Structures are given as C-alpha cells and as structure tokens.
Amino acid sequence: MSTTGLFLMLFLLVHLTANITGLFGAESFNRVCRFMSTNPIILVMVPVLAAGFVLHILYALLLSLSNLKARGGKNYAVSNKGPATSWASTNMFVLGCLILGGLALHLLHFWAQMQLREFSGGVSAPPYELLVYTFSKLHIVIIYFVWIIALWFHLTHGFWSAFQSLGAIRTKRLKGWQTAAYIYATAVATGFASIPLYFYLFIR
C-alpha cells in the first residue's frame, strides 16, 4: 500500500508538471502532449501506472474489508484522537472512491480523446483546444474542484503514513512529517486547481 502510494504521489508531480504547461499557451502544451504520445519510455509507463493504480485500489479495498471484519462490521466504540488521527485518516477509503471517480472522468475527458484514439489507430483531439473546451463548462470545473479537495485530504494523511509504514518516521518527528504532508498536498492541489480555474475565468 505504501509503495504504490509513493509511486502514485511521484506520478502526481510529473503529471502536474506536464499539465501546468497549459497555462503558458497552446504551443507549450501541445509540444508536451506530442512528447508524451511519442516517447517510448512514456508509452511503457502507461501500463505500469495503470497497474500501480489497480494495486493501490485493491490494497485499500482489502485493508478496509479486513478492518471491518476485525470490528465485526461495526464502527469503533471509542474514537481515537491521538496525534496520528485526523478526519482524513478515518475516511481514506471514501476519499479514495471520490478520487477514483474523478480519475475516471479525467481519463474520459482527456486520455480517451487523445492517447486512446492514437492507440486505436485514430487521430488525437487537439490537446490545447480540448483543454479549453473541457474547462469552459462550470459544472465540469466544480466537479474537478471536488476531486481536487478529496485528493488534498487523501494526501495530507497518505503522504506521511506511507513513509511511516516503511519505517522511515520516528514518533518524535511525526509532526514534521505531517507538516511536510500538508505542504506537499497543498502544492499539488493548488497546482491542479489553477488549471481549470484559469481556463474557465480567462480563456473560455
């Protein structure tokens, strides 16, 4: 769970770096999209990334079912309010489901219209025009913001707990790692949120 989580967190940074180029105009964004669709390393990473998501989801499902079975199908009688407990930590599965739904929508909006078309022998939709069109719709922007908020909460716990599971965190340094988690989650969420907001307010 922690290993796949760290892998996906690294991917988020790479994906954000590529997507943020859309704020600098059509030429830069289209160039990045062409690179991603023709680079052999990127093409190999697509199934690896998909496997990472699937494994992470399966681990989460198995862990949730195991915890539920251990409690006899009931919630905890006493709520633990220790230093490692937060709203996000007790709702990681629900947040994960929201993120999965947002991911499916994101793939439908972009991957299916670009890479999937090319894989199927067709022609990709113009990347920048697709970006402009997608985020010209207020309801789509709102849905993306809900997704990003869920992602933020998920990362505030998932970031440091992944390192803790690997034995990299000592109890006395927990606060520092939790602060780092908030910094990482906020940077990623702000970066992703800036894209639909920018296109809806200034480009549409």
Q: What is the pLDDT of residues 129-146, one digit of tens each?
A: 999 999 999 999 999 999
Residue 191 lies in a domain: yes
Residue 78 lies in a domain: no
Q: How does DSSP classify residue 137?
A: -
Joined tokens for residue 26: 């059509």
Residue 79 lies in a domain: no
CATH number at residue 168: 1.20.1300.10
Please tell me the predicted confidence (pLDDT) of residue 41. Answer: 86
* CA nearest neighbour of 158 among 93, 75, 97, 103: 93
* Contact (CB, 8 A) for 13 and 110: no
State which residues form the domain around 126: 2-70+86-203
Is residue 149's pLDDT more than 50?
Answer: yes
Q: How far apart are CA 26 and CA 127, in angstroms?
A: 8
Tokens 């496997």 identify what position?
51
Residue 66 lies in a domain: yes
Residue 81 lies in a domain: no
Please tell me the predicted confidence (pLDDT) of residue 194. Answer: 98
pLDDT tens, 47-60? 888 898 889 988 88
Average per-residue pLDDT for the chain: 89
Neighbours of 19 (CB within 10 A): 18
Please tell me the predicted confidence (pLDDT) of residue 185. Answer: 97
Please tell me the predicted confidence (pLDDT) of residue 78. Answer: 46
Q: How far apart are CA 55 and CA 1, in angstroms?
A: 8
Based on DSSP, count helices (H) and strands (E) in the chain, helices before strands: 8, 0
Count of domains forming the chain = 1
pTM of the model: 0.89
Residue 56 lies in a domain: yes
Residue 135 lies in a domain: yes
pLDDT tens, 76-122? 444 555 556 789 988 998 999 999 999 999 999 999 999 899 889 99
Looking at 8-12, 137-141, 150-154, 189-193, which range is the least confident one? Answer: 8-12
Residue 21 lies in a domain: yes
Q: CA geometry: angle at 104 spanning 2 and 153, to 5°?
A: 45
Is residue 70's pLDDT more than 60?
Answer: yes
